Structure 1
Amino acid sequence: MLVTDVNEALPGGSSLLRNEPVQARSSARLTGLLDAAASIIDEIGYERLTTAMVAERAGASIGTVYRYFPDRIAVVDALALRCMQRLTARVVEAVSHDDVTDWRQAVDLVVDAKVEMYRTEPGFRAIRFGDVPDLGAPQQAPVSSPLADSVLRLLVERFDVVADERTELAVQVVVEIGNGLLARAFVAGGRGDERFVEECRRVVTSYLEPVLTVG
């Protein structure tokens, strides 16, 4: 489980890490550092986060933090990657059920999954999902979000949606819209403002309707 947590945090051997954890003990240590960072970010925001705070909260030395992360930005990026992986896993699990027979249901479940992450995942509210993490290499083309990629793949596999340029752009757009509306819903924390949650459902469904509805 600890190794899974680390893989979720930094999929594909991200260059955010100075050293890849190869043993369960190292994985547990890295997971603890990210958990500590998440709890601090919930309290004071990521702008004020420091590597010293992470070390103190995790009960680790500052050297342990620097063993894995070159700076505080790398810690935040790693936490964002872990949050995105956990969100994507929830979406895939929810939409894959046999009783989900319509793309509109799938859209609702995507919104539900993200709302639940806001309510239960430490550090999630502070992550800026519209920002592309710095993965150490210049981007030659616009980068779609992992969530948009997963949603499109599920729509194609489950509901016979054609993955053409129009559909790909539409899914990316609604993911960005959803990010903004749900961030607004949870700007004050707590259970969130249901008005913005419901508007998120309405807006993204309405935007996708003429693209995904055939005939």
Structure 2
Amino acid sequence: MPKNKTAAAEQTSAAPLVRTEPIQERSAARIDALLDAAAAVVDEIGFDRLTTAMVADRAEASIGTVYRYFPDRIVLLQALRDRAIERYRQAIVERVTGETPETWVEAVGSAIDAFVGMFRTEPGFRIIRFADAERGPVNRDEPPRVGFFALRFADILAAEYTLPDDEALTFHLEIVVELVDALINRAFLIDMAGDERFIAEARTVVREYLETRYPAAA
């Protein structure tokens, strides 16, 4: 085969690989845009009235584009929930590593701060019951993921502070997730900025609950 034909063949075979990354990036951007639109609609009218047509209209996309990524509204809401939960986990890591709390009490406080921050800044986050997301799978085909956040946070606290790395710590942090989720959701139920009384009580309840179990480390 002549040299120039070999080069042309190599370029042809390589072309799909070269285009893969931009295509993936465009798909990710479309998905984010659709989820942003869904979050905006949810904040306005609630998740129970959300339709894929509303999302398409808000995102200025065709209904076919919505169905390409989300076959129905349930899958769309699940994706919105999962994105919000992942962003919260990232916010926790950023706060704990960025602020470098001196004690585990301050680290837990940073986690609560991040949770409150998500309510105030992340569109659509208010409709998500964080504890529910932690308790069960997205759909019936997935294995349970009970206590996933508690397990990861226990790893951080055990590694950075003097708390024991055992199942008891994970269990106690599961209790914390339930308490914080209930109280912070209540804080934003009526007050869009968050009722500071409930937020303050959430901090107090969590601190006192953990200090009774880990007094030497407090």
Query: Is 1:182 paired with 2:184?
Result: yes
What are the residue-to-residue correspondences of 1:94-113 with 2, within 5 Å?
Answer: 94-97=95-98, 99-113=100-114
- 1:180 Cα shift? 0.5
- 1:121 Cα shift? 0.7
Give the aligned CA root-mean-square deviation in angstroms: 1.9
- 1:149 Cα shift? 2.8
- 1:130 Cα shift? 2.5
Query: Is 1:134 paired with 2:138?
Result: yes
- 1:110 Cα shift? 0.8
TM-score (normalizing by structure 2): 0.82
Looking at CA atoms only, which structure, 1 or 2, has the larger radius of gyration?
Answer: 2
- 1:34 Cα shift? 0.3
* Native 8 Å contact 1:167 1:212 kept in 2: no
- Partner deviation per Cα, 1:119-155 (whole Å, 9 max, x = no partner): 111001111222234244254x661143x23321210
Give the gaps of 5 or more residues in structure 2.
1-21
1:65 is aligned to 66
What are the residue-to-residue correspondences of 1:153-172 with 2, within 5 Å?
Answer: 153-172=155-174
* Native 8 Å contact 1:87 1:113 kept in 2: yes
1:74–1:189 CA distance, 2 compared to 1 (3 A)? farther
- Partner deviation per Cα, 1:77-116 (whole Å, 9 max, x = no partner): 1111111111111111111246411011011111111111
- Distance, in Å, in 2 between the alignment partners of 1:90 and 1:208 is 22
- Distance, in Å, in 2 between the alignment partners of 1:22 and 1:189 is 42
- Distance, in Å, in 1 between the alignment partners of 2:46 and 2:53 is 15
- 1:203 Cα shift? 0.6
- Distance, in Å, in 2 between the alignment partners of 1:188 and 1:36 is 23
- 1:118 Cα shift? 0.6
1:13 is aligned to none
- Distance, in Å, in 1 between the alignment partners of 2:165 and 2:56 is 45
- 1:59 Cα shift? 0.8
- Distance, in Å, in 1 between the alignment partners of 2:198 and 2:84 is 21
Segments of 4+ moved more than 6 angstroms: none
Question: Given the alignment, which residue of 138, 141, 146 partners 1:143?
Answer: 146
Aligned length in residues: 193
* Native 8 Å contact 1:33 1:54 kept in 2: yes
* Native 8 Å contact 1:42 1:123 kept in 2: yes
Query: Is 1:89 paired with 2:90?
Result: yes
* Native 8 Å contact 2:42 2:50 kept in 1: yes
> Identity of counterpart residues, as a percentage?
47
Question: Given the alignment, which residue of 210, 213, 216 partners 1:214?
Answer: 216
1:193 is aligned to 195
What is the identity, as a one-letter code, of the residue corresponding to 2:198? F
1:15 is aligned to none
- Distance, in Å, in 2 between the alignment partners of 1:127 and 1:189 is 17
- Distance, in Å, in 2 between the alignment partners of 1:174 and 1:33 is 33
- Partner deviation per Cα, 1:46-102 (whole Å, 9 max, x = no partner): 111111111111111111111111211111111111111111111111112464110
- Distance, in Å, in 1 between the alignment partners of 2:191 and 2:126 is 8
